Every structure is written in C-alpha cells, then in structure tokens.
Amino acid sequence: GDSVTQMEGPVTLSEEAFLTINCTYTATGYPSLFWYVQYPGEGLQLLLKATKADDKGSNKGFEATYRKETTSFHLEKGSVQVSDSAVYFCALSDRYTGGFKTIFGAGTRLFVKA
C-alpha cells in the first residue's frame, strides 16, 4: 500500500541556517504530495503542495519538488527563523473510492534557536 517516510527528528538549527527535511513515498497511483505544518498549540495546516511530477510547491520561503524518479518530496528553506519551529508532516493523497485518501509521515520536529 501507499506509504510516506520522512527523516526522524528533532532537527535543531540556528537562525538563518539552511533546512532540509527528507521525504520519500511509495504509491501505486499518481498521488499529490503535500507538506503540512503544526505550530505549537495549533492545528495542522497546509504549507505547500505539488500535484504532478516536476512540480515545485512553495510558500513562506519553503520549497519542495515532486521527484517521480526518486519518489521524493524533500522540504527546503534557505534561511530558517525562530518562528519556523514546528512539526512538519509530509503526506500523499491518492485517488481512492470516489475521493482521496491522505497518508502522513511520522512528522519531523524542527527547533530553531535564536
């Protein structure tokens, strides 16, 4: 079945450091790929998405490129801020029984130090 694997955390960075959180997936169909973020004390919200191979999703300085050949969707940001401290979830959504089923990775907690 479909699955998502992302790097274990926590990841601790200093402000302005470069961030990469790795995510790979397995899917039988042609899924859409997502990164969701959960800030402390808040609900999950969509950070960015890509719906087909070679698409790049971007938002708030974060980027991820849908790589079909490596089945990956790594999250990157050039210069992190303290306010980026959160848990990041990679997810895929595949067509399923008239709708979509979304499967999440285990989440990666990011701490950014001032």
Partner 1 sequence: GAGVSQSPSNKVTEKGKDVELRCDPISGHTALYWYRQRLGQGLEFLIYFQGNSAPDKSGLPSDRFSAERTGESVSTLTIQRTQQEDSAVYLCASSLKVAGATGELFFGEGSRLTVL
What are the residues whose beta carbons fall under 8 Å from the beta carbon of 66, sequence distance 6 or more? Answer: 33, 50, 51, 52, 53, 54, 55, 56, 57, 73
Q: By rule CB under 8 A, what string of x and - marks binding of each residue 58-97 to partner 1?
A: -------------------------------x-x-xxxxx
Tell me the site size for partner 1, rule CB under 8 A.
Answer: 27
Cβ 79 to partner 1 shortest distance, Å: 27
Residue type, 41: G
Contact status: 34 vs partner 1 (CB under 8 A): yes
Contact status: 44 vs partner 1 (CB under 8 A): yes
Given 18, 30, 39, 100, the residue binding partner 1 (CB under 8 A) = 100
Which residue, among 7, 4, 25, has the nearest Cα to 109 in the 3D structure? 7
Q: Which is nearer to partner 1, 18 or 96 (CB)?
A: 96
Contact status: 101 vs partner 1 (CB under 8 A): yes
Burial of 35 (0-12, 13-18, 19+ CB in 10 A): buried
Give the binding site for partner 1 (CB under 8 A). 32, 34, 36, 42-46, 49, 51, 89, 91, 93-107
